[in-house]
Chains A and B, each alone.
Chain A
Amino acid sequence: MSIPLYDSGIASGLLSGILFGYALEAAGFGSPRKLTGQFTLRDFSVFKVMFTAVIVCAVGLYVLRTMGWMGPAAVFIPTLFFWAILLGGVFIGAGFAVGGYCPGTSVVGVASGRIDAVVFAIGMVLGTSVFAWVFDPIKDFYLAGQGPTAQTLPQLFGLPEWMILLALIIIAAVGFRLGTILERSRGGPFTAEEVCAPDDEADEFALTSANARG
């Protein structure tokens, strides 16, 4: 048996999705207030969960390759198209701050009852359609600034992979510490009790915590 299995069947999709959805929901990512709390510095869950997941998976892939269980180019690595990917990230960051979700978390929002997540999903279908309609005029921009195929950070900096992983772990540890200090000073992070409360109680919660902060 060689790794990866390259299985794209129904069972593999359902299994990955169920684990993905369960973990996102457990993190509290069905709540747009908890998600956007990242950008008001009241809740660092987005940074903490994302960095932890990236590091756990990156270390796992590194171990699989180092042990010779997986080839060097066995998994899909996206290629950089600098301008489109940077600006696409900007659009998603802006849309996340305004709309409260990203694509994956909006699915979690729908599953945990958020009506605003359903409307957000309709918005995504509209935005995707607009992109398709204007694709021809923006195609040059879409393809501009192409980097080397499947380039990784170790290749970009010419450093060994373990050094990059170590740097990420250090950045994450500093971010965790700093995040915890900032979120406490702002009355966060959001709790399940707070974000799952019905609307009238949620407003009360917000006012009480605002008063508690002075």
Chain B
Amino acid sequence: MRDAPKPFWSPLAAGTALGLALLLTFIVTGHGLGASGFVTRFAAQANDWISPQATASNSYFGPFMAAGSPLLSWITWEVVGVLIGAWLGAKGAGRISVKVERGPRTSSGNRLVYALLGGALVGFGARLARGCTSGLGLSGSATLAVAGFVFLIGFFAAGFAVSMMMRRIWQ
């Protein structure tokens, strides 16, 4: 019998901690937190491994490669930090759970197909929006940027609409 995991923090406590972490990031760096910026740099690097010439001449990835070593950036260290911080928290609270997490009516195989498809939509959307839920939704909105709130409107509207169409995946 394994030990029961410790409960999650209340949303108010976790949100306050997240807000203070974000404030500290603004104070130290002058900008907020992000995540998709790392994915962009990793994708540029991965494309470069496969086809250096096509990547260098690509109008979106080209500038990243021309600047040299796209992965040597603040956002890479921040994402490494997220891995460490989340792992420490999950480990300390007994919340590490190695599995394919899915709804009770969805097979693991289907869940992974949905994960890949959803990931692709999110990857494309984050480049279109110039940021993701962290960079625009959270950090942008914390500066009261109009861009952050326009992003959140699109995010929540589509989330509810698609979730209603595909309710069976999770329930």
Residues of A within 8 A of B (CB): 3-10, 12-28, 30-34, 36-40, 44-45, 48-58, 60-61, 64, 74-82, 84-117, 119-133, 135-136, 138-139, 142, 147, 150-156, 161, 164, 176, 191-193, 195-199, 202-203, 206-207
Contact = CB atoms under 8 A, between A and B. Distances in A.
Contact of B84 (A21, A54, A95, A115): A21
Contacts of A122: 116, 119
A92 B8 contact: no
Interface residues of B, number: 131
Interface of B: 4-9, 11-36, 38-40, 42-44, 46-47, 58-61, 74-90, 93-104, 108, 111-112, 114-138, 140-164, 166-167, 169-171
13 contacts: A21-B85, A24-B18, A25-B89, A25-B95, A27-B14, A58-B142, A98-B166, A103-B35, A114-B98, A125-B43, A128-B123, A129-B43, A155-B146
A22 B86 contact: yes
Candidate in A109, A111, A133 with the most chain B CB atoms within 10 angstroms:
A111
Candidate in A49, A61, A120, A203 with the most chain B CB atoms within 10 angstroms:
A49
B118 A93 contact: no
B89 A22 contact: yes
A71 B88 CA distance: 36
B116 A75 contact: no
Contacts, number: 556
Contact of A128 (B12, B18, B40): B40
A20 B18 contact: yes
Nearest to A108: B86
B60 A27 contact: no
Contacts of B100: 114-116, 199
B128 A142 contact: yes
A78 B145 contact: yes
Contact of B11 (A48, A54, A106, A198): A48
A98 B114 contact: yes
A24 B15 CA distance: 9
Candidate in A8, A52, A104, A110 with the most chain B CB atoms within 10 angstroms:
A104
